[in-house]
Amino acid sequence: MHVDSELSAYLDGELAPAERATVDAHLATCQRCTGRLAELRTTASLIAALPSPRPGRSLVPRVDTLRRLDGVDERGFAGWNWLRPVRSLSALASGAFLFLFLVTAVARSGTGLGGGGTTATTAFGPAGAGAAPATSAAAPAASAAPLVSAAPAPALVPAPAPVFDAASRAAPSPPAEAVSRTEAASPTAVVTRGVAGQQISDPLTEPLFWLALAIVAAATAFLAHRRLRTT
Amino acid sequence: MRGDVARIGPIVQHGAVDGGDLLRRARAGDGRAFEDLVRPEEHALFRHVLRMVGTEPEAEDIVQEALLSAWRSIGGLQGGSFRAWLFRIATNRAIDVIRARRRRGELPLEPSDDEEPGWAEPVVPGPDLPEIAAGAEAVGLVEEALRAIPAEQRAALLLRDVEGFPYDEIALIAAVEIGTVKSRIHRARLAVRNALVARGWRSSSG
């Protein structure tokens, strides 16, 4: 049997010893196959001798200034890059801060704490008589009581109620009373001290505080995203 | 696109390049080490892709993109021949470009390689082999013959005869079994030989 199909592998030295021996034995007796082997050998050397042009420019990418893609390649090599979690967390935080901004803003506007007390009066109904003076003027600790009793009334404005409840429960106390007596002038000041029931204005109920945090978090997420995209 | 990032398994290393340390640093993210590691292969990659796709500008772009892709995925490279891994990325890209060309009708469809090709016989007496081999005519004939064979066969033949890869590494580069590599190389070489014979070449023993 001729060994035509084995000649290339034989030429390339890729036959197993037993197969190689078989071809050797055949070549010893077959002129045709010996000739064909020579032709294949010459063909291979012609191919090897083809001109080998060089590229006209450098093809090696300048990677010393590039980072690998986030340390994660297309096949999921698990490098770690801290920008990704920063981006995700900042985006989530921004959403949460925005929500809190909306909640506190509605709370403020719903009870008219930022301005006149009329809204509060109507919202609070019968207890409004007691509540109104509490919100618009300096009030004794008794203001805590109307606030508490007013809590069930404003079912129409549920959002402010928890704020009032928490504040009044937090400190319906002499400090609030004393502070609110002395700081009669500014309704806003009364609000921050009476409602919060704390010594110093509470930023947690200030809508602009949450809005500022939301903006900062959003900016952080955006910058992290830009940085990730450019690498 | 075929996965051009190789998970080349452990195979025989061919020629321990001094890049043992370079490879380690490149995998750790050292861009300069990567550049030093691939620069020696730039010329070979270019000539291989050029013979695959045919035009220099296209070959340059393909090699550059292949090296960029290699940089991005080098972190995932497991053991084995780094050179074979580079050629795998480049060859895959070249074949994808060829296939896209074919789909757009810019290239004729490749001949079906189902049948076992035969050995062409010389029809007319022609110059002896040494005369052809010494002339530029042989280069043109061989190049033309290479362009005419299927891309996968051409790749295997070039990797063997020009780049010197053994069959087992070519199998990893092409992601096929060794038997397929053997068959492709034989058919490709036979096709080039037949093209030479058709132009009148006859072996001295014929």
Which residue matches tokens 């919060």?
A: A196
B80's tokens: 């084995």
What pLDDT does A55 receive?
A: 95
pLDDT at A111 over 50: yes
Contact B45 A43 (CB under 8 A): no
Residue-by-residue DSSP string for A37-48:
HHHHHHHHHHHH
The predicted model gives A134-147 an average pLDDT of 44
Question: Which chain B positions have a beta carbon within 8 Å of A3's beta carbon?
Answer: none
Q: Which of B182, B194, B196, B204 to mutate to test the interface with A (most CBs of A within 10 A)?
A: B182
Question: Which chain A positions have a beta carbon within 8 Å of B182's beta carbon?
Answer: 8-9, 14
Nearest CB to B142 within list A50, A61, A76: A50
How do residues B42-74 score in pLDDT, each as one tens digit? 999 999 999 999 999 999 999 999 999 999 998
Q: Name the band, by pLDDT with cuts 50, 70 and 90, for residue A217.
A: very high
pLDDT at B151 over 50: yes
- As a whole number, the mean pLDDT across chain B is 83
What pLDDT does A150 receive?
A: 44
What pLDDT does A218 receive?
A: 94
Contact A46 B75 (CB under 8 A): no
Q: How far apart are CA A105 and CA A99, in angstroms?
A: 10
Q: How far apart are CA B158 and CA B47, in angstroms?
A: 10
User: Which ipTM value was assigned to this complex?
Assistant: 0.84
How do residues A28-39 score in pLDDT, each as one tens digit? 999 999 999 999
Kindly identify which residue of chain A lies nearest to residue B159, measuring between CA atoms.
A48
Measured between alpha carbons, how far is residue B153 from residues A143, A172, B13, B49, B150 in Å? 92, 89, 24, 14, 5
Q: How far apart are CA B39 and CA A9, in angstroms?
A: 31
Whole-number percent of chain A with pLDDT over 90: 36
Question: Which chain A positions have a beta carbon within 8 Å of B133's beta carbon?
Answer: 42, 45-46
Q: How far apart are CA A160 and CA A111, in angstroms?
A: 7
How do residues B105-131 score in pLDDT, each as one tens digit? 877 666 655 566 688 776 555 555 555
Identify which of B196, B187, B106, B183 has the alpha carbon closest to the alpha carbon of residue B143: B196
Question: Which chain B positions have a beta carbon within 8 Å of A30's beta carbon?
Answer: none
> What is the value of pTM for the model shown?
0.59
For the beta carbon of residue A126, count every other beta carbon within 10 angstroms. Answer: 10
Q: Are B5 and B90 in contact (CB under 8 A)?
A: no
What pLDDT does A113 receive?
A: 53
DSSP state for residue A196 in the 8-state scheme: T
Residue B159 identity: L
Q: How far apart are CA B120 and CA A36, in angstroms?
A: 11
How do residues A10-34 score in pLDDT, each as one tens digit? 999 999 999 999 999 999 999 999 9
Q: Are A144 and A168 in contact (CB under 8 A)?
A: yes
Contact A12 B204 (CB under 8 A): no
How do residues A49-108 score in pLDDT, each as one tens digit? 999 999 999 999 887 655 554 444 444 344 456 788 889 999 999 999 999 999 999 988
